[in-house]
Amino acid sequence: MIHFFTDPVLRAPIWGCMLMCLASSLMGVLIFLRKRSLLSETLSHATYPGACLGVALFALFFPQYEEWTFLAVLGGAFVSSLLGLKAINWLEQKGGVRTDAALCFVLAVFFGIGIVIASGMQSGLPMWHKQVQMLLFGQAATMSDIHIWTYGGLSLVIVSFLFLTYRPLQSLLFDRNFSLTNKLPVILLEKAVFWLLLLSLIVGIRSVGVVLMSGMVIAPAVAARQFTDRLKVMFVLAGFFGSMSGLLGNYFSVVADLPTGPAIVLVGTLFALLSLLFAPKRGLLFRVIRILSFRLRCLEENILKGIWKNGKVSETPSFAVKTALWQLKRGGWINPSLQLTKDGKLKALSIVRLHRLWELYLAERLGFQGDKIHRTAEEMEHIITPEMEEKLTHLLENPKHDPHKQPIPEKGL
């Protein structure tokens, strides 16, 4: 894969896409944390009519300078996306339209206008029609070295902006009202973020396309969020996932003969999906494991308490109970004849103590009565920590009996 970075044909798509994905993923973190992910989708689609109109006007007035068409694309896309942003703000502030409705409306209208313009070009300017069709899904394979410098410059601008404004941005992302109260340049920062987002989207449609560009803005941010709660780390991870998406997307495009833009977005989506499933703290798999582990522990503690009260286990235990019994035997809490060991008895008494302490707290301090006390204590006995137990004991003045006049076992007995 190393020769991809130096090959005269492949180096421009590789470096260009990596830098483009780096820039868009960093901006994606800001949009994702502001809960405005759909904004990138709307603005990327809003670039299409401007790009089409820009190419059409360029074809009419400067047909001899076809190699400079990208300037018409950038200029038209910028104006169009800016109009889309203004339309969103007007619908929200003046029209009283909800944010999601305004975003969807602008997306559909602007993209529809773009399709109409492109259809008109198909009959009137057929040679130039290919230029605007390319913008739908991108054409990264035809990049040149000028694109490396363009994307590199954009990445440098965005990284510099994040470095210089990190503290106020951090405050803005997590508490806008606090930022306003402390007289931070909130409006200026928000405008700068939107301008840089527009720039990222406009420059990126050449590689990934109008339809898929928002995926490269949001997917790396989604993947990064699953691994950390720290903003700095999230920026680093999002940049890494974005750059790797650009690299691997180009690699699979070459070896599997796939379109480059969709391949890049698919790799980014795969990173996001794998992160959602397997991230250590937030991943679905590990969350399921933690939930099942907690439920098994609750069942084990209920069995210990049941054996302490009744002296036996149900004659027809379910699979879950059999699993819990096996775990209890393995841990030395019960013996092969399903009777409590010394440690098992101490554990059961500890559970009963927590249950009755919580019942007494609910009755004496919160005024609860009836069955609700017991049901709540059945749940709380499994999650009360030693620190909470100490506080309850002190608060209730080391009680000896619960609300039902049952003795509360001493701690450690």
Specify which of 127-136, 140-149, 241-250 reaches the highest per-range mean pLDDT. 241-250
Is residue 257 domain-shared with residue 119, that is, in the same domain?
Answer: yes
Among 224, 254, 282, the domain boundary falls at: 282
Cα atoms in the Cβ-side hemisphere of radius 13 Å centred on 103:
13
Are 202 and 290 in the same domain? no
With residue 353 as reference, give the H or E element that holds it: helix 342-365
Instruction: Mark whether 299 and 360 lie in a shared domain.
Output: yes
Give the structural domain span for 270.
2-282
Residue 154 domain flag: yes
Which CATH number belongs to the domain containing residue 390 in this structure? 1.10.10.10
CATH code of the domain containing 168: 1.10.3470.10
| Residue 313 burial (CB count, 10 A) | 18
Average pLDDT for the chain: 87
Read off the pLDDT of residues 314-352 as tens digits, 9 standing for 90 and up. Answer: 666 788 888 888 998 889 998 888 888 999 999 999 999
Residue 68 domain-assigned (yes or no): yes
Percent over 90 (pLDDT), the chain = 33
At residue 408, the 3 state secondary structure works out as coil
Residue 230: count other Cβ atoms within 10 Å of its Cβ: 10
What region, left, alpha or beta, does residue 313 occupy, with left being phi > 0 and alpha being psi -120 to 50 degrees? Answer: beta
User: Is the domain of 68 the same as that of 208?
Assistant: yes
pLDDT digits (tens, 9 = 90+) for 217-247: 999 999 999 999 999 999 999 999 999 999 9
- The answer as to whether 21 is a domain residue is yes
pLDDT digits (tens, 9 = 90+) for 79-130: 998 999 899 989 988 888 888 899 999 999 999 998 898 888 887 777 777 7
Residue 162 has pLDDT above 90, yes or no: yes
Residue 278 and residue 298 in one domain: no
Q: Are residues 225 and 314 in the same domain?
A: no
Based on the fold, state whether residues 73 and 142 are members of the same structural domain: yes
406 found inside a domain: no
